[in-house]
Amino acid sequence: MHDDIAEILFTEEDIARRVDEIGAAITKDYADCAEEGVVLISVLRGAAIFMADLARKIDLPVEMDYMAISSYGNGAKSSGVVRILKDLSSQIEGRHVIVAEDILDSGLTLTYLLKNLASRRPASLEVATLLRKRTRAQAKIDCAYVGFECPDEFIVGYGLDFAERYRNLPYIGILKPEVY
């Protein structure tokens, strides 16, 4: 798998340091909510690793929940058509919700998800994304927490995949074009 990587963008140490910083920022920002804590929501499967690491760095009560959403079909680019395959198990009305996202690419799926979650009337709704791609066509989404800005390349590792491979790489790298 490592031979398929053209360049490592963020090392395991870079990621751990940035997740620590985001966790500390969330702990500080939600200190007034120390009794009820926050609900972290991850979209399966890519963001699950980021959310698990992030949850351990937040020094507040944390409830974790997951959604499965499909928007890519069989292609490498988003189709713009979003389907919920697995919904939340938790009620989020009146709760402080943070969506833990692996990568903000086009933003089409996240825009849909945020509208869907907002309709459930949480007390607050924010986004913590590990990666934000630098693209011109990206939807306008405010992220309270951004781990890293990254180039508009095909990125894998630390939960991000191509054809369900490379998620288990401990770093984030650019996949060689000949692989996809």
Considering the chain, what percentage of its residues have pLDDT values greater than 90?
Answer: 83
Contacts with 127 (C-beta within 8 Å, 6 or more apart), sequence order: 98, 99, 101, 104, 110, 114, 141, 142, 143, 144, 145
Please give the class, per CATH, of domain 13-150: alpha beta
Alpha-carbon torsion, ordered 90, 94, 99, 100, to 10 deg: -70
pLDDT digits (tens, 9 = 90+) for 68-118: 988 755 555 555 678 899 999 999 999 999 999 999 988 888 999 999 999
For residues 133 and 162, the answer to whether their CB atoms sit within 8 Å is: no
Q: How far is the C-alpha of 180 from the C-alpha of 162, rounded, in Å? A: 8
* CA–CA distance, 83 with 80 (Å, rounded to integer): 10
pTM, 2 dp: 0.91
Would you please indicate which residues are annotated as catalytic (active-site) residues?
105
Those residues with Cβ within 8 angstroms of residue 115's Cβ, 6 or more apart along the chain or in another chain: none
